[in-house]
Structure 1
Amino acid sequence: MPKYMLIMRGTDESNAALMAGWEELAATTYQFIEELVKAGVFIAAEGLDDAGQGVVVDFSSEAPVVTDGPYGETKELFGGYFLLDVASKQEAVEWAKRVPSVAGSKIEVRRVAGEDETPSDDEGSVEERRI
């Protein structure tokens, strides 16, 4: 079955609302994860730390440039994900509609490319080259 990532994206406003109601949202999220597990589609779920605590490595110049925090003009930030093993994009979308969230946030649904879809070369896979 294909894997789909449900990518949680929020704005400063939706992230503030999320933090204001964190305890209730955490409880409903744990219930949602239990439903995913019972349905046999759950692979993983993780939330990310505040974007201001991260760094950006920018490859637009000859040498990579590292700066603190998220991109300066970001309107939406990737806040975490659910990884599901479902039969179709439509099933992933149906699960995405049930993700506990707050107004102003979004869930992006993206299929994870299978191993047979990644470019290969005559050198073999990464694992084969390590041997």
Structure 2
Amino acid sequence: MRFMVIVHANKDTEAGVMPTTERLTAMGKFNEEMCNAGVMQAGEGLHPTSKGARITFTGSEPTVKQGPFDVTRDLIAGFWLIDVASKDEAIAWMKRAPFAAGDEIEIRQVFAAEDFGDALTPELREKEEHLRAQAAKK
């Protein structure tokens, strides 16, 4: 099962405060443990929303709003994509992550092809598999 682990932003991440060497070292060690266990598929930190944009789809023309955005628990500062046997295993891994008091992460299961049932026809499944293989080459 694949899970996306969403690291929520806070006032420091939105202000562009960079992590200390100690925090980067601890996070690097944690990432290495997940990689060595075959759990981590991807993981990245994100720039603050002041460098981003939002596109809202209403009516016929999408609307673009440039950041920064108000600090809410909906903002994302980073993520991991992990592959584990269960949500409980994902939780166990993430409880070991080197975060400070008050930091918050969210764990969400990623849909697998079989979750879509008959709506994902063999033709659509083949096209999806081709696109995934193409993306993996880059």
Report TM bin, short chain.
Answer: 0.7 to 0.9
Name the CA distance, whole Å, in 1 between partners of 2:97 and 2:16: 13
More strand per residue: 1 or 2? 1
Name the count of aligned residue pairs: 127
Q: Which residue of 1 aligns with 2:55?
A: 57
Q: Which residue of 2 aligns with 1:22?
A: 20
Name the CA distance, whole Å, in 2 between partners of 1:73 and 1:16: 9
Superposed CA RMSD in Å reads 2.7
Q: How much does 1:126 deviate?
A: 7.2
* Higher RCO structure (Cα 8 Å, ≥6 apart): 1
Q: CA 1:18–1:35 in structure 2 vs 1: closer, same or farther (change >3 Å)? A: farther
Q: How much does 1:40 deviate?
A: 1.7
Structure 1 spans left out of the alignment, 5+ residues: none
Q: CA 1:74–1:16 in structure 2 vs 1: closer, same or farther (change >3 Å)? A: closer
Q: Which one is further off, 25-34 or 118-127?
A: 118-127
2:29 maps to amino acid: Q
1:44 alignment partner, SS class: strand
2:72 alignment partner, one of 75, 84, 88 = 75
Q: How much does 1:67 deviate?
A: 0.9
* TM-score between both structures, scaled by the size of structure 1: 0.81
Q: Which residue of 2 aligns with 1:10?
A: 9
Cα shift readout 1:52-94 (whole Å, capped 9, x = no counterpart): 1000001134311001015x44412111111111010000001
Moved over 2 A (4+): 15-22, 118-124, 126-130
